[in-house]
Chains A and B, each alone.
Chain A
Amino acid sequence: MLRIRDLRTSVEGKEILKGIDLEVKAGEVHAVMGPNGSGKSTLAHVLAGRDGYQVTGGDVEFLGQDLLDLEVEERAHKGLFLAMQYPVELPGVNNLTFLRESLNAVRRARGEEEMDAVGFMKLVRRKADEVKLDHKLLKRSVNAGFSGGEKKRNEILQMAMLEPRLAILDETDSGLDIDALRTVADGVNMMRSPERALIVVTHYQRLLEYIEPDHLHVLAGGRIVHSGGKELAFELEERGYGWLLEENAA
């Protein structure tokens, strides 16, 4: 589904990603871990197509197409979803309106019919219950004044509504209490399907107690320095990142 080959990316002239190779197949869940500043968010953003990230080498194939050639919204239409580390506030933009416009934009782009108001409301209520998002938040402005946990649940709700082929969750677990963490993990587990892949970026292995990844990668200094199965998470818990970094430097 996703094949990243030797991806190099600079931000403001500084090379951040120094050659990433990663292959993700449909049905798989990959975890990406690594210390702060190692380039995890940069990788997520460059896959989503954000301005300001200059790809200086390598290529990315997504569902058989050159991903890096597509506009941000085209990537979204093709089924790429990014749950952001810092969800953005949109004051004055109603959360329901935003969800509906997004869903319909994606549906239109896929040649599907727009969803009518009744169908949409039913769906959104059900999904909001699944991610334990207070219905009151649906009527508020997108993320405006939401608590950290509410923002992350809102991201999960958007993901559940848009049903992406590939979802990248960038530290969706950061700053959450254990209840919120469980909800987010449940949301992710619900999304697991043979047609879908997930990349879960996390700073802590705590989340991996609830989401079992098929593969785990450690990103450090803009490179994937180690890949393994879920058992790697426990090793990291015991030994930290230090040994991997040293191993890599050596």
Chain B
Amino acid sequence: MSVPEQQMDELVRSEYKQGFITPIESDTLPPGLDEGVIRAISEKKGEPEWMLEKRLVAYRHWLTMPEPQWSSLHHPPIDFQSISYFSSPRPKDGPKNLDEVDPELLETYEKLGIPIDEQKALAGVAVDAVFDSVSVATTFRKPLAEAGVLFCSMSEAIREYPDLVRQYLGKVVPHKDNYFAALNSAVFSDGTFVYIPRGVRCPMELSTYFRINEAKTGQFERTLIVAEAGSHVSYLEGCTAPMRDENQLHAAVVELVALEDARIKYSTVQNWYPGDAQGRGGIYNFVTKRGDCRGDRSHISWTQVETGSAITWKYPSCILRGKDSVGEFYSVAVTKGRQQADTGTKMIHIGENTRSTIVSKGISAMQGSNAYRGLVRMTTGAENARNHTQCDSLLIGDRCSAHTYPYIEVKNPTATVEHEATTSKVGEDQLFYCRQRGLSEEDAVSMIINGFCKEVFKELPMEFAVEAQKLLAVSLEGAVG
């Protein structure tokens, strides 16, 4: 006995609360992509010659690559010549101190609930604020520097710490890795650079807040986190964009390197504009994220809550090279309206006794389509390696879909791989039961969904777990039937 389809659509049309546009002057390159554009980006950012060279090599390679077709996603072809590859709010041209940040921008971030004024900021959370193609502010750099932690925009890192950047950039995700990684390597604009020295436990949560504002621009973030031996860091990224009728491209590359005994916890709360109920507009999110557990006993954990974007194509992965290294992937992906997500992870076990855990929770509502795609590879050297995968799908209504594509390759007989998958539905009986006990329909749905996502939410830093729960509640407001 389901609520009529039409009625359900009305219920589900919840608001996207971050959909406003900041009225700010910007320096935007005209749409189009060629070597001249890449030189212009590099010049605007005051990059050294070697960086420009790297970009051009990537660009030339990209030109030879076909767009990938293997995912379950459907979208019209992307016209890469109709996108602007660089847009920066005027007149400030990089992160200076806060006094110089345009008040419009300060207000924008405040409206988004991410005050970049240190006085108002969440205690213990440092923020790098990336607006279109540039980082506009980075907070708490002083106390971090005192601990030896480098936390700055990628543009600045290229200028200030070229040796570190050259040593690590493109080593985990080489430009040849895939189509979108090649594009990103050619045109990336800004992102965050984090370096934690040997033995240091980063004294604060680090975070980057990505905002796309300008129309017809793409955002190509590039983030690199290096954790030296014995160091610990927890990093979180958040993302939003205005509501626009056209699709906008976000193609990011994130690289993590963990040396001996180092620990990196990387959390994402992705809330890009998902488009309207008819599938107009929304962000195309094509992201390559990979962590290299290079050192023995290193530990990389990915946690993601993906509620936004028209299209999500994203497989945060771990290369478990070091002995006893650990990789984790905890994911909640929500698709409603016409949203499509094809997301999962790759756990590549190379070292002995490496362990990985995958917990994926897919939620689909309305005509949303949600695919989990995960690879677990046990190479010949992965003596006694272990993986456990738990992959659960929750369906709300009758027109959505969920698919799981687990790929398992085992080359070492001592390795163990476990895979469990379930699919369930938010039933009319469950909602009736909750409402009979006095709960509103919204509260009932949110309670059932939070229960479903519990194992993932508990991996988020506390301050953000609450946010993520609220976000999920808003995202699925009334999405029942």
A and B form one complex: yes
Is there contact, CB below 8 Å, between A76 and B437?
yes
User: Do the beta carbons of B438 and A76 come within 8 Å of each other?
Assistant: yes
**A102 and B439 contacting across the interface, CB-CB below 8 Å:** yes
Determine which of B427, B437, B453 lies in contact with A162 in the assembled complex, contact meaning CB atoms within 8 Å: B437
Decide if A77 is an interface residue (CB 8 Å cutoff): yes
Size band of the interface chain B makes with A: 20 to 34
A234 CB, nearest partner CB in chain B, Å: 33
Contact A90 B439 (CB under 8 A): no
A120 at the interface (CB under 8 A from B): no
B-contacting residues, A90-126, CB 8 Å: 90-94, 97-98, 101-103, 105-106, 109
B430, B443, B454: the one within 8 Å of A90 (CB)? B430
Contacts of A88 in B (CB 8 A): 427, 429-430, 432-433
On B, residues with C-beta under 8 Å from A are 1, 3, 424, 427-430, 432-441, 443, 447-448, 450-454
Out of A84, A93, A106, A162, name the residue touching B447 (CB < 8 Å): A93
Is A158 within 8 A of B434, CB to CB? no
Chain A residues with Cβ under 8 A from B434's Cβ? 90, 98, 102
Q: In whole Å, how far is B345's beta carbon from the nearest beta carbon of chain A?
A: 22
**Interface residues of B: mostly helix, strand, loop or mixed?**
helix
B447: A residues at CB distance < 8 A: 90, 93, 97-98, 101
- Of B435, B443, B451, B452, the contact of A72 (CB 8 Å cutoff): B435
* In the complex, the 9 A-B pairs of residues with the closest C-beta atoms, listed nearest first: A92-B451, A52-B1, A102-B437, A93-B451, A72-B435, A105-B438, A88-B433, A106-B438, A76-B438
B432 pairs with A50, CB closer than 8 A:
yes
- Which single member of A72, A89, A92, A98 contacts B436 (CB below 8 Å)? A72
Q: How far is the CB of B444 from chain A (nearest CB, A)?
A: 9
B454 CB to nearest A CB, Å: 5
Please give 19 more A-B residue pairs, beta carbons under 8 A apart, in addition to A48-B436, A51-B428, A73-B440.
A51-B3, A51-B432, A72-B436, A73-B438, A73-B439, A76-B435, A77-B438, A89-B430, A90-B447, A92-B448, A92-B452, A97-B447, A98-B434, A98-B447, A101-B447, A105-B438, A109-B438, A158-B437, A162-B438
Name which residue of chain A comes closest to B422, CB basis.
Answer: A91
List residues of A whose CB falls within 8 A of some B CB: 48, 50-52, 71-73, 75-77, 81-82, 84, 87-94, 97-98, 101-103, 105-106, 109, 141, 158, 162
- Interchain residue pairs with CB less than 8 A apart (7): A72-B432, A72-B436, A76-B437, A84-B433, A90-B447, A93-B447, A102-B437
Q: Are A91's CB and B451's CB within 8 A?
A: yes
Beta-carbon nearest neighbor of B447 in chain A: A93
Q: Residue on B with the closest CB to A91? A: B451
Q: Is A87 a contact of B437 with CB atoms below 8 Å?
A: no
Q: Which residues of A contact B428 (CB under 8 A)?
A: 51-52
Q: How far is the CA of A81 from the CA of B436 in the complex (A)?
A: 7
* Cα distance, A102 to B435, chains bound together (Å): 9
Chain B residue nearest to A11 in the complex (CB): B1
B289 CB → nearest A CB, Å:
27
Interface pair B451/A82, CB less than 8 Å apart: no
Closest B residue, CB atoms, query A159: B437
Contact B432 A92 (CB under 8 A): no
Which of A73, A91, A92, A93 has most chain B Cβ within 10 Å? A92
- Contact indicator A76/B436 (Cβ below 8 Å): yes
A89 to B451, CA, bound (A): 12
State how many angstroms separate the Cβ of A115 from the closest Cβ of chain B.
Answer: 13
